[in-house]
Structure 1
Amino acid sequence: MMPSYFIAHGAPSLVLEEHAYTDLLKNFAAYTTKPKAIVLFSAHWEEPVQTVSAVDEYSTIYDFGGFQDELYRITYPAKGDRSLSNQIQSLFSKQGIESALDEKRGLDHGAWAVLKLIYPNADIPVVALSVNRYLTNEQQYEIGKALSSLREQDVLVIGSGGTVHNLMGLNWRSEGTDAWAEEFDNWLQSKLETWDTTSLFNYRDLAPYAREAVPSSEHFIPLLIAMGAGDAGRKARLLHRSYQYGNLSLSCWQFD
């Protein structure tokens, strides 16, 4: 069965960088079976109703400003998969999850920056999905769980976000790591590895420095969704964790 993954997308410039984390993503295809399709939840696509893309070919959205000119020339013309989009809607419906199709939206940098690193040829169909910060954490998990059967069809489920993502707290010149960011991620690791969903669903009250690490939940939500997609096996494995700018976490979790 194909694992599901949480992949932190960091800053938009990640796709141009060279370090241990980008090396991991660039070699992603070497240690995983090539999927038939990719289902990706991006923190940068928020909708009040769970939305499923249904396009023939994606445009590239440059939803950022002030970065290198080269970033604005990158494209990721992945194809969509309308039959998979319809199947996803059906799976949601069976679990009582309301959803809608979107036939126009391209891929934002939370999607294409990650995909460009792991599958640079854009030769695998992609279905992008939105997130909704106003749902409960239990509901986020159930959204991922509703799609867990796709893994049996060699469909790769990815949540793209960030566990510590506080843009107001970044130190762009820092070469060290803030202790509070590591403390939050250490707590998170202990709960993921023991599949302690009770604690995870209540992380804002239980985790140290939760409000500093997650001032707004849209980047944390994809982790819960990817974990939910791995509910059948309930095994979590940390593949990488590092930091940029003092506390921006770059982590990759595999759920089997």
Structure 2
Amino acid sequence: MTAPTLAPVLFVSHGAPTFALEPGPLGAKLGEIGRDLDGLRAVLVVSPHWQTRGLEVMTTERPATIHDFGGFPPALYRLAYPVPGAPEAAAETAGLLREAGWRPTENDQRGLDHGAWVPLMHLLPDAGVPVFQLSLPHTLDAARALELGRALAPLRERDIAILGSGSMTHNLHEFRGAASRPEPYVARFTEWVREAVLRHDSASLVDYRSLAPEAARAHPTEEHFLPLLVAMGASGEGEPPRLLDDEVRYGMLSMESYAWGLAA
């Protein structure tokens, strides 16, 4: 029997909102991947910029483009990603999560935050593939994020790609100018995470705050790291990840990103 073809899983460090205007190497790589994606029903995005009290699934038919940031160039606020929603796929996802013991509610008003539409502008610039989001509950920790990803994994057999959008490092207190040299701790933390991802060492990643060098400095709060755990949970243990980029922006924002399930 032929194994089913699985839709891919990605973890994308979406950087600052200016990533929309300054794609760099990662944006180009996402564009290459997107051009090879055929037959997707939808893309599910998990972003740190939608945090809620409980787990919510977006069922919006025509999600608005949310400009949930301030102090950036006016051109950013004129950007839109007019993609259709995926209410049927979202309802399926809610049902799948309930079967796994989660208690999601459906939200038919939510739009796309910049953690979703900014990387998608590079991955799928034609905005033709339906998109929906899943929120991050405020109480979610690393272990539960991994479990959430595992609960979402069957969506891949239904031609639904999973995009965890976050940041490999995210300490905005240390935000520097665009030409700043990377802080040394960024490489120490990123290299440790990379080795764990390549080994598919989920247990170490769940305990990253104790095991990874400079974890608290790289992530004073966890929300930008949790989408990586979701992506790890949705990927298969025998599924090798592909490193997409390792650029560092503004001295402290690692753009390191991974993909699983891409065609060779």
Task: Give me the whole-angstrom Cα distance separating, in 1, the residues matched to 2:237 and 2:65.
Answer: 34
Task: State the AA in 1 paired with 2:122.
Answer: L
| Residue matched to 1:123 | 128
Write the mapping of 1:1-256 to structure 2, written as runs, cut at 5 A.
1-231=6-236, 233-256=238-261
Task: Give me the whole-angstrom Cα distance separating, in 2, the residues matched to 1:160 and 1:18.
Answer: 15
- Corresponding pairs, count: 256
SS for the counterpart of 1:223 is helix
Task: State the AA in 1 paired with 2:47.
Answer: S
SS for the counterpart of 1:254 is strand
- Segment drifting more, 137-146 vs 201-210: 137-146
* Offset of residue 232 of structure 1: 5.5
SS for the counterpart of 2:89 is helix
Misfit runs of 4+, over 3 Å: 31-34, 231-234
CA contact (8 A) 1:39 1:155 kept: yes
Q: What do residues 88-145 of structure 1 show as CA deviations (whole Å, max 9, x unaligned)? A: 0111011101111111111111111111111112111111111124223121111111
* Offset of residue 30 of structure 1: 2.7
| Structural RMSD (CA) | 1.4
- Segment drifting more, 142-151 vs 167-176: 167-176
Task: Give me the whole-angstrom Cα distance separating, in 1, the residues matched to 2:20 and 2:31.
Answer: 10
* Offset of residue 81 of structure 1: 1.6
Residues 244, 54 of structure 1: CA spacing in aligned structure 2 closer, same or farther, 3 A cutoff? same
* Offset of residue 85 of structure 1: 1.1
Unaligned 5+ segments in structure 1 are none
Residues 18, 226 of structure 1: CA spacing in aligned structure 2 closer, same or farther, 3 A cutoff? closer
CA contact (8 A) 1:54 1:85 kept: yes
Q: What do residues 168-188 of structure 1 show as CA deviations (whole Å, max 9, x unaligned)? A: 112125432111000000000
| Identity between Structure 1 and Structure 2 (%) | 35
CA contact (8 A) 2:27 2:119 kept: no
Normalised by the length of structure 2, the TM-score is 0.93
CA contact (8 A) 1:148 1:232 kept: no
* Offset of residue 236 of structure 1: 2.5
SS for the counterpart of 1:89 is helix
Task: State the AA in 2 paired with 1:206.
Answer: L
